[in-house]
Structure 1
Amino acid sequence: MRLTKYSHACIRIEDGDRVLVIDPGVFSEAEALDGATAVLISHEHEDHVDVDKIAAARAVDPGLGVFAYPSLALTLKATAVQPGETFSADGFQVTAVGGEHAEIIDGLPGCPNLGYLVEGVYHPGDALFVPEEPVETLLVPASGPWLKLREAIEFVRAIRPARTFPIHDVNLSALGLANFDGWLEDEPATTYARIALGGSVELG
């Protein structure tokens, strides 16, 4: 199984002819959806879902499966999934977890958020929900108005995945990326590495 990192929060998982894309937002490259056979959307913010990109992918493949929480699924004409639900996305076994976006301040943004556990790979969207299921590969958010570095480190420590790769990082400068990497590389709870933009890793 191959995992490819695109800009910000978008990742692509390939296994043979199956291609699953998570959170193709406005900052991610259009080619992330090339040949996609299923798409998971964590929440409604445009850095996680680009409606035009989804429409373009559906124009190529009208049968493309798109999955999101119920209110967003209604808007996108997608398949609705609930927290705690396990389902098949073109043969990938997926469990939706969490349910709420991390708070910035005063209860805002106050929208739903689903994290997705895909055969051991965990993409939390904009939240730091710790699932009950074991996580082999954690995609840890690196930056955001709702996130502190300490919280990211504590998230990794709570999950203790075999490997960790950063996502949600478009707001960080080169110095900010290096600072985040330096802290996470010192964490004994996991093996940490940054995937270069457009680069891939093979997962066992």
Structure 2
Amino acid sequence: MRSSEGMPFSVVTGALWLDLVYTGGEGDRSCWEALHTPTDVAAWAHSSGVVSDPSAVRIDEADLRAAHRLRETLWDMANRLADGKLPTSDAVAHLNAVAQRADPVPQLVLRSGVLELDRGRNADGAQVLSAIARDAIALLSGPHADRVKRCAATDCALLFVDTSRPGARRWCAMSRCGNRDKARTRRRFEKG
């Protein structure tokens, strides 16, 4: 991602489904849109580890629209959870419906004398989205269900899953918001 100042930074969201949330969206989030075409969805699925080869995934315009709809559902769910609220029954129903398809099938392949994992060869868009929905279901029904958090920086609204052992993570990215907060605290201490 890029900050409003144009500086690149990465956010470790802690979940595949939250990674999808940060590919753009409706309204103010449209400026971040990364999923313009079916090929973009395949490339994102590859960079996120859902599939090994983006050219071997069959994704069409309907899958692109389904990815956008799932992303909006997950955006709403994540924000509600970060605010201490439960997701809506419609969001839960949509997530469950998307998860009905099988995940992309992993295969073991032998390449140049080395065994490698090949995920999602000949997968379709519904399978890719199912993997994302299943990731959300697994997290939201597991021990980190109550750890969807909003960055503690007053000028940041990014969400993440706190998978730290003590559950004390505060920042979307230490390299961005954490360091800025430390610098502000240091300046206040030096002035006072």
Q: Give the TM-score normalised by the residue count of structure 2.
A: 0.28
Q: Highest relative contact order (Cα 8 Å, sep 6+), 1 or 2?
A: 2
Q: Choose between structure 1 and 2: higher strand proportion.
A: 1
Q: Choose between structure 1 and 2: higher helix proportion.
A: 2
Q: Larger Rg: 1 or 2?
A: 2
